[in-house]
Structure 1
Amino acid sequence: MSLTRGDDADTLLPDAVADHWLWRHAPARLRPFVQLARLDRPVGWWLLLLPCWEGSALASASLREAPNLWHLTLFFIGAVVMRGAGSTYNDYVDREIDAKVERTRGRPLASGRVSPRAAIWFIVAQCLIGLWVLLSVNGLTIALGFASPLIVLLYPFAKRFTSWPQAILGTAFAYGALLGWTSRTGALEAPALLLYLAAILWTIGYDTIYALQDLRDDAIAGVRSTARLFGENVQLAVGGLYTGSVISAALAVHLAGGGVFAWLGVVAYAAHLAWQTSRTREDVAPPTALRLFRSNRDAGLLLFAGFFLQSLARLM
């Protein structure tokens, strides 16, 4: 394993945060692994983390208990390493396809800067940290957690046989809504299932926006996506997915006991998704599509903040 020759411009990926502190300070030999784990693209672990935090905070509000800061910390660690493991696995499976797509051909495996064997060991190391996090919660959450890798293993192959790979990604990225809830309550209940559905629909929507960057190259490489499937109707489709997400989140809040702050979180979340939808087009410029995709961190934080504040309010 070695870096390709050249300066940072040769190895910095187009959708990375160019001035990210970890990229600036990481030794050159470790930079390909920073890219494999997507540590230079933090929005990914945020999007994996937020359903976990939302499930935990909504459960705390329902139980009239303070937010469990230890659980929130564990979910943060778990989201970072498991997103890294999943991304490394995805790049391992897709290394030949990635080499054909302009945006991804510079990835460490596709460009040969990391060997397949080194990538496998990197996956194992990250999964061991994730296992430690999972074993720190209750039995039901552990059992549910062991089921989630099955979805992750399927995802990289989905684009080869279905136009809905975003739906497979959604079931994986949204899974934390179930784990966040059960880690607090020890039971799998209707609000958790509705919040999971909300996060699935949200994920399909924002990953469709993300896929708009690659429409031309995906068509050449034969890669399927909802962005290609929806075509000129992509704005309507994303709007429908986001509407379903908001309705599901609202039902989850209702069944969890409501509350002013929880409802304000839903309203803010809905407003943000409406703003995204208004700017979504089939021919949207790739930088705009990336900016809209990244803004989903803020959408998720708005929903979480409402649940978090509601759990604090019910202590009074």
Structure 2
Amino acid sequence: MDSAAVDRFEAGRGRLASLAYRLLGSAADAEDAVQDTFLRWQAADRERIAVPEAWLTKVATNICLDRLRSAQARHERTAGAWLPEPLLEGDPMLGPADTFEQRESVSLAVLTLLERLSPAERAVYVLREAFSYSHAEIAGILDITESASQQHAHRAQTRVAAERRRGGEADPASARRVVEEFLAAAASGRTDRLVALLTDNVTAVSDGAGLARRLLSYRTPERVASFVRAGFKPTPAKRRLAGGSPAMYLARVNDSPAVIAVVGVRVVGAVAFDISGGKVAALYGIAAADRLTRLDGAWARHEAGVPVIAAW
């Protein structure tokens, strides 16, 4: 393959990776999908491809859909079984972030909700909300009718809106202050302080450090506060599991405020927060090592600053 063809693919690699990540919720799977797209580009009769960007988008999208359908058929991806892979702020795989819809589409909250959609609904939602494709363009990418694209979009948007339950986009500085107050309350041992920082319909989801077969899920302010207090209470067993006493840093992952737990230079956990109306509406705890690989690599290159908790 000549250098011009390679350069043309590389110019769109970032966009394809961002698309694949939103569809698959995994950075490693997204990279594999992009590489498979490259191999098909390499083997294609490129003289017959009138619009390379459209062709590559179609191939990458359908590779991702095949992966989703295959995983669902094997019961490897069922709603409530896993959380998306968190990405540190600035990661190019997060992709476009110019609009509220684009930022929403990559949040852990929305990526988790997308697991409950059919693969076709998920693809239409991502192509429409994150990349602003028209229904005519989506129909061409997915080989469906324009009317079917509209129906998939309507169902996906309705389900996401019904379960999202938040009051607009939180200012980053205000959201950070809420998380700082939350950490102070969690460390205080007083659940009443935590309850005051939670919305009435708050949810908490954790992967149980990869030790549980299903996600741990909690609802109501009282139950979430108790879960958080128990989770943030240090014990020798937890320190052994983490490989030491973690330092806690404030950061942003998937365009949401987050707490990153670090032992030495190794990320051992991340908690992302969904903030609504000055309170915590949802939190997502991820500590399974296979979901932290890319975040760990990015953290090694990140200027972390001063930890909010030096030694947990």
- Normalised TM-score (structure 1): 0.31
Larger Rg: 2
More helix as a share of residues: 1
Structure with the bigger percentage of strand? 2
TM-score for both structures, normalised by structure 2: 0.31
Q: Which structure is higher in RCO with an 8 Å CA cutoff and minimum separation 6? A: 1
